[in-house]
Amino acid sequence: MVELGTIDRHSDRPPYQQIASVLRDLIVAEKLEPGAKLPSEARLVEHYGVARMTVRQALQELRGEGLVVSEHGRGVFVRPMPPVRRLASDRFARKHRSEGKAAFLAEADSVGYTPTVDRIEVSHGSAPDRVAELLRLDVGAEVVIRSRRYLANGRPVETAVSYIPAEFAAGTKIEQPDTGPGGLYARLEEAGHTLDTFSEEVTARMPVGDERSALEIGPGIPVLTVLRTAYDTEGVPVEVCDTVKVAPAYVLQYDFPAR
Amino acid sequence: MVELGTIDRHSDRPPYQQIASVLRDLIVAEKLEPGAKLPSEARLVEHYGVARMTVRQALQELRGEGLVVSEHGRGVFVRPMPPVRRLASDRFARKHRSEGKAAFLAEADSVGYTPTVDRIEVSHGSAPDRVAELLRLDVGAEVVIRSRRYLANGRPVETAVSYIPAEFAAGTKIEQPDTGPGGLYARLEEAGHTLDTFSEEVTARMPVGDERSALEIGPGIPVLTVLRTAYDTEGVPVEVCDTVKVAPAYVLQYDFPAR
DNA sequence: GAGTGGTCTAGACCACCAC
DNA sequence: TGGTGGTCTAGACCACTCC
């Protein structure tokens, strides 16, 4: 049983904010643990002696802050947080590839979570304008499109879509769902495109509709987007990877010289 | 006059989502330009023939997406967006410092906005735990704390707090509000700490209360946080800078070797 | 069927803003 | 003073989940 306290009708702060504060404090103090069920709206209405819309407005605040998620017909729950993944800028180092692991799987060992990849889809098509620009292709040029979703401990944490110029992928496992040991980058190197440099563009924003469902996050959780271009030793862009990550699940680390 | 259309009472999508969609489309198509006033709640109630709470729920959606801001007693407005700043990983290159400009001012020229810095505060104190760890200081060790706020075209885009071990700042302009030509990093190099490497940790999250007011953003806009550590040529950390940026105003770019 | 959250109605009073 | 958004009430019906 949690301590819900009371609200002060004469306070400057409106009742819905007071109710939101009480619940927020219970959550951050972990008196309500991640995954725990909050009292039902009906209970809160009864406890505080307010209208249901007032209780719902309080819960709306907490949803907006990403602290709770509601499930129709079941209840409102404290949002369970996925483990934090720390991505260092050497995560694509060749030494990881040579061990036969793709970056995501290699990292899971050291951090200690169970990695999964699902929704793998491979197709041929044309690249979005921005991607074509980065790949220095004509708009509409054919690329291999590889999309997939990454999960940590069963919870989605990232979606990724790779675009590879069709000529670089032709006849390789890049055109198949399973790219084999070392992943996509290992296959590109076998095809003669030794990787030299990566360039990443990082932004953050609120998720749009289908991202919310794919990443199983509510509207109160931002996403980090990383648009990565891989260049070979001749400076030719050989792949662009567009990733959308659940922001609270990631810390990106980059080292660079002061020059 | 904008075209508000009508809603379909028999659709699967609830009326509030249909209303939100119409307004959202008008905004993204720029039929409602940034800064423009939306029709009042009363007008929308009249136009769509729904209850006021239904209109408010539609507007709540748009607020959550950061598309509009409401101003009590004035109306609801399309959020005007600050210009996008693209931060490349060479933005602290020595060549910029040697021209006598700090990074923020140097960049404004090329991108074409008016930069301002305000709320500059300098104090002595102890570093937060994480900062002390990065600076390899004992918890509670004395540092110089420099905080400031950056604005582009008069709109806040970033707050920054720098922590410099007291011994490195002693007797330099680092202890004064105006650090002089080339900024903080130029002073550190003059003091014998030639900069060699930067390391940045990037995350994104929703803003907390005082960040919302300092950056003048509503609850629907995420922030990017960058925690940067500067190392000198001997590998000694000489500064940690904790920045909070309005996410939609930034693209961070990093280049790194595939190794 | 009982309990839950999702949506909606038709009012009300208040605080803030511009004129 | 009139128009605006902010908050609240006391209901209603629906869709979903679980038993």
Residue B240 has what pLDDT? 97
Which residue among A29, A50, A78 closes a domain? A78
Signed CA dihedral, B224, B90, B192, B190: sign only: negative
H helical segments located in chain A: 15-28, 41-48, 52-64, 94-98, 103-111, 129-134, 166-169, 183-190, 209-214
B227 and B189 in a common domain: yes
Q: Establish if A189 touches chain B: CB-CB under 8 angstroms.
A: no
- Choose the closest CB to B201 out of A195, A224, A251: A251
B23 and B39 in a common domain: yes
CATH number at residue B184: 3.40.1410.10
B127 and B42 in a common domain: no
Q: Which of A98, A196, A241, A252 to mutate to test the interface with B (most CBs of B within 10 A)?
A: A252
Q: Which tens digits make up the pLDDT trace of A194-243?
A: 999 999 999 998 887 668 778 877 667 899 999 999 999 999 999 999 99
Mean pLDDT of successive 10-residue segments in chain B (259 residues)? 83 91 91 92 94 94 87 91 79 69 67 81 93 93 93 86 93 88 88 93 83 77 94 96 94 90
Residue A81 DSSP one-character state: P
Residue A141 DSSP one-character state: -
A162 and A73 in a common domain: no
Q: Identify whether B34 is part of a domain.
A: yes
CB atoms within 10 A of CB B30: 10
Q: Which tens digits make up the pLDDT trace of A14-37?
A: 999 999 999 999 998 989 999 999
CATH number at residue A46: 1.10.10.10
Which residue among A78, A111, A131 closes a domain? A78
Domain that residue A216 falls in: 84-253
B72 and B99 in a common domain: no
Chain A from 214 to 243: CB within 8 A of any B CB: 219-224, 230
Would you tell me the crossing angle of helices B41-48 and B52-64 to the nearest 10 degrees? 120
Q: Identify whether A2 is part of a domain.
A: no
Q: Which tens digits make up the pLDDT trace of A152-188?
A: 877 889 999 999 999 998 888 999 888 888 889 989 9
Q: Identify whether A40 is part of a domain.
A: yes
Q: Which residue of B has its CA nearest to A186?
A: B258
Q: Can you point out the beta strands (E) in chain A?
A: 68-71, 75-78, 85-88, 115-126, 142-152, 155-165, 195-205, 223-232, 237-246, 250-257
Check whether residue B38 has its CB closer than 7 Å to nucleic acid strand D.
Answer: yes
B176 and B112 in a common domain: yes
Q: Identify whether A44 is part of a domain.
A: yes
The two three-digit tokens of residue B24, written as one number = 């959202």
B154 and B60 in a common domain: no
- Whether residue B94 and residue A259 make contact (CB cut-off 8 A), yes or no, is yes
| Nucleotide minimizing C1' to CA distance for residue B70 | D5
Residue B101 has what pLDDT? 59
Residue B235 has what pLDDT? 94
B142 and B47 in a common domain: no
A245 and A129 in a common domain: yes
Signed CA dihedral, A135, A139, A143, A145: sign only: positive
B128 and B99 in a common domain: yes
Instruction: Quote the minimal CA–CA distance from B224 to chain A in Å.
Output: 7
Q: Identify whether B10 is part of a domain.
A: no
Which residue among B60, B78, B96 closes a domain? B78
The two three-digit tokens of residue A253, written as one number = 């680390």
> Could you tell me if A189 and A232 are in contact, meaning their C-beta atoms sit under 8 angstroms apart?
no
- Whether residue B204 and residue A222 make contact (CB cut-off 8 A), yes or no, is yes
The two three-digit tokens of residue A28, written as one number = 């951050």
CA within 13 Å, CB half, B242: 15
Residue with tokens 């959606």: B61
A231 and A202 in a common domain: yes
Query: Which residues contact residue A202 at a Cβ distance below 8 angstroms, ignoring those fewer than 6 apart?
Result: A224, A225, A226, A252, B202, B224, B251, B252, B253, B254
Check whether residue A111 has its CB closer than 7 Å to nucleic acid strand C.
Answer: no
Residue A11 has what pLDDT? 86
CB atoms within 10 A of CB B74: 8
A209 and A179 in a common domain: yes
Rounded to an integer, what distance in angstroms lies between the CA atom of residue A105 and that of residue A116? 8
- Domain count for chain B: 2
Residue A146 has what pLDDT? 95
Report strand pairing: B237-246 vs B223-232: antiparallel
Q: Identify whether A134 is part of a domain.
A: yes
CB atoms within 10 A of CB B9: 9
Check whether residue A12 has its CB closer than 7 Å to nucleic acid strand C.
Answer: no
Q: Identify whether A97 is part of a domain.
A: yes
Q: Please, which residues bridge with residue B242 across strands?
A: B161, B227
Please state the φ and ψ torsions of residue B155, each to the nearest 5 degrees.
Answer: -105, 135
Q: Which tens digits make up the pLDDT trace of A81-112?
A: 777 778 888 787 777 766 655 667 666 666 67
Q: Identify whether B136 is part of a domain.
A: yes
Rounded to an integer, what distance in angstroms lies between the CA atom of residue B198 and that of residue B228? 7
CA of B180 to C1' of C4 (A): 63
